[in-house]
Amino acid sequence: MIRRQRLAAGVCAVLAALTAGIAFPVGAVADETEQAAPKVELVLDVSGSMRTADIDGGTRMAAAKQAFNEVLDATPEEVQLGIRTLGANYRGNDRKTGCTDTAQLYPVGPLDRTEAKTAVATLVPTGWTPIGPALQKAAGDFGDGDGTRRIVLISDGEDTCQPLDPCEVAREIAAQGIGLTIDTLGLVPDAKTRDQLSCIADATGGTYTSVQHKEELTDRVGQLVDRAADPVVTPVAIEGAAQCAQAPSLKSGLYTDREEFGQQRWYKVDVDPGQELRASVSVAADRAVNPDYGVLLRAVTTHGREIVRGEAAGNGRTDVISTGLRYPKAESDDDTATAETVCLQVTNSYSAAAGVKTSPGLPLELTVDVVDGPSRASDVASFGLGRGWWLLGALVLTGFVAGLLWGWVSRWRVAVWRTN
């Protein structure tokens, strides 16, 4: 079931990209070989609660070890990977000592799979849950230099070392401007744990995922490690508005936000004459939702007139739904023509299942790309088809001829049947 969900989610994302027609500059790809090696650190909770046996009949620690082994085997060669633990060494009851219990199990660098697996195999659930201190240390494990930096935190409970709030630690990391993203995975569907891990991820533009099965855990950790190797832009955390007039102005880029169930979020993009706006949005169900839902992406004028829209629907078999749109603004002979402000409206029709908390909102990822577009009014009128008009005409003609032939054959067969 999970594999079908992932496959369906991937198909939705591909369709959204094709619908939006997003094409990143060739120069960005050409510079890929010049970028610094992507770095990932897996931060694993090894506190005493990881001994609990509630994941597919085994302990949470066993599930984490299996996921790590499979992910280490599949880690791309170009990724420099490290492993840090929290709560792995101190067995006592002294809070002060327990809240310093975080250590780097394997340094961030070129991966020796055998050495890393051996280190993971020695882990035994032990102590406290110092998430905040672990994140502080992990941020310094990457050293200097550029390139993608990503922390993947796996935990089964709340931080036990307050008042050092791990969410505040994540905000401080984001404020440093070092381009570090923190993704979090929760091993139990506990509301307090979910809220804390969601807050940590949101602070750095990362993602939160609740996992309750070994296969889910392996797949998600693998996806996040692979994402670090992709030449993609780290999402920028933004906050959409309830109306276009108060919406944040966006440039080309990748953005992340949270949207409440059934809520509308507004954003603004300036499009110059001769440019084309391409946008796509994905909204993920990171908790149990009712079946039959949809996502609507509208481009409207500042006065509320709809320009173009994209929409998609789901039936409960996918955990993310995506759609996209394109809006070209034709060249003008008027030298005084100015940019047009286009309002982007994102609406979802998700509804929470019984007993499921609706806050925080659902993760939303918005891609905006403003590129050189068609320069003639006729191109604008037919955008999305281009030279495909001849194919559309051929298909229409073929359908018409096929309909005539089928009708003639059907009448002939009826006449023969009556004769006999």
pLDDT in tens, 243-269: 999 999 999 988 989 899 988 999 999
Portion of the chain with pLDDT greater than 90, in percent: 39
∠ CA 344-21-343, nearest 5°, is 10
Reported confidence tier of residue 320, pLDDT bands at 50, 70, 90? confident
pLDDT of residue 160: 83
Token code pair at residue 241: 């508005």
- Asked if residue 372 has pLDDT above 90, the reply is no
- Whether residue 274 sits in one domain with residue 206: no
How do strand 180-186 and strand 149-155 relate by DSSP bridges?
parallel
- Whether residue 290 sits in one domain with residue 170: no
Reported confidence tier of residue 65, pLDDT bands at 50, 70, 90? very high
- Smallest CA-to-CA distance from 274 within 330, 326, 342, 327 is with 330
- In the three-class reduction of DSSP (H, G, I as helix; E, B as strand; rest coil), residue 164 is classed as coil
Token code pair at residue 76: 């791309």
- Whether residue 112 sits in one domain with residue 78: yes
- Whether residue 203 sits in one domain with residue 277: no
Average of pLDDT values for 225-234?
A: 72
- Asked if residue 408 has pLDDT above 60, the reply is yes
More reliable by pLDDT, 267 or 143: 267
Q: Give the C-alpha separation, 139 to 407, whole Å.
A: 71
**Range name among 103-107, 149-153, 325-329 with the lowest pLDDT average:** 325-329
Whole-model pTM: value is: 0.54
Q: Give the C-alpha separation, 155 to 135, whole Å.
A: 12
pLDDT of residue 419: 67
Is the CB of residue 279 less than 8 Å from the CB of residue 368?
yes
- Whether residue 352 sits in one domain with residue 259: yes
Q: Give the C-alpha separation, 130 to 84, whole Å.
A: 12
Tens digit of each residue's pLDDT (9 = 90 or more) over 170-225: 988 887 767 788 999 998 767 888 888 988 988 887 888 888 888 889 998 998 88
Q: Quote the number of domains for the chain.
A: 2
CATH number at residue 97: 3.40.50.410
Average of pLDDT values for 123-140?
A: 92
β-sheet bridge partners, residue 340: 271
Would you say the C-alpha torsion 165, 183, 196, 108 has a positive or negative sign?
A: negative
Beta carbons within 8 Å of 293's beta carbon, 6+ residues apart: 285, 313, 314, 316, 321, 348, 349, 350, 351
CATH number at residue 281: 2.60.120.380
- Smallest CA-to-CA distance from 123 within 66, 40, 39 is with 66
- Whether residue 269 sits in one domain with residue 200: no
pLDDT of residue 228: 79
pLDDT of residue 115: 95
- Whether residue 272 sits in one domain with residue 177: no
The residue length of the chain stands at 420
- Asked if residue 321 has pLDDT above 70, the reply is yes
β-sheet bridge partners, residue 102: 86
Number of H helices, E strands in the chain: 11, 18
- Asked if residue 19 has pLDDT above 60, the reply is no
Q: Residue type for 166, please?
A: P
Reported confidence tier of residue 15, pLDDT bands at 50, 70, 90? very low
- Whether residue 223 sits in one domain with residue 77: yes
- Whether residue 81 sits in one domain with residue 126: yes
**Range name among 52-66, 75-89, 233-247, 386-400 with the lowest pLDDT average:** 386-400
Is the CB of residue 255 less than 8 Å from the CB of residue 303?
no
- Whether residue 194 sits in one domain with residue 279: no
Q: Give the C-alpha separation, 183 to 206, whole Å.
A: 5
User: Which DSSP helix (H) or strand (E) runs through 331?
Assistant: none
Question: Cα(first)–Cα(last) distance of the chain, in Å?
Answer: 54
- Whether residue 283 sits in one domain with residue 260: yes
How do strand 306-314 and strand 249-250 relate by DSSP bridges?
unpaired
Would you say the C-alpha torsion 173, 224, 13, 382 has a positive or negative sign?
A: positive
pLDDT of residue 146: 72
Domain assignment of residue 26, yes or no: no
pLDDT of residue 332: 64
- Other C-beta atoms closer than 10 Å to the C-beta of 379 total 15
More reliable by pLDDT, 21 or 51: 51
Tell me the HSE value of 47 on the side-chain side, using a 13 A CA sphere: 22
Q: Residue type for 409, please?
A: V
Tens digit of each residue's pLDDT (9 = 90 or more) over 180-191: 889 999 987 678
- Asked if residue 49 has pLDDT above 50, the reply is yes
Tens digit of each residue's pLDDT (9 = 90 or more) over 287-319: 788 888 899 999 999 988 999 999 988 886 666
Domain assignment of residue 20, yes or no: no
More reliable by pLDDT, 7 or 229: 229
DSSP state string for 375-401: -SHHHHHTTTTGGGHHHHHHHHHHHHH
pLDDT of residue 416: 66
Parent domain of 71: 36-229
Residue with tokens 């989610």: 9
pLDDT of residue 13: 42
pLDDT of residue 391: 61
pLDDT of residue 111: 93
Is the CB of residue 336 less than 8 Å from the CB of residue 280?
no
Reported confidence tier of residue 112, pLDDT bands at 50, 70, 90? very high
Tens digit of each residue's pLDDT (9 = 90 or more) over 231-240: 655 678 899 9
- For the chain, the helix, strand and coil percentages under 3-state DSSP, each to the nearest 5: 35, 30, 35
Is the CB of residue 151 less than 8 Å from the CB of residue 180?
yes
pLDDT of residue 8: 43
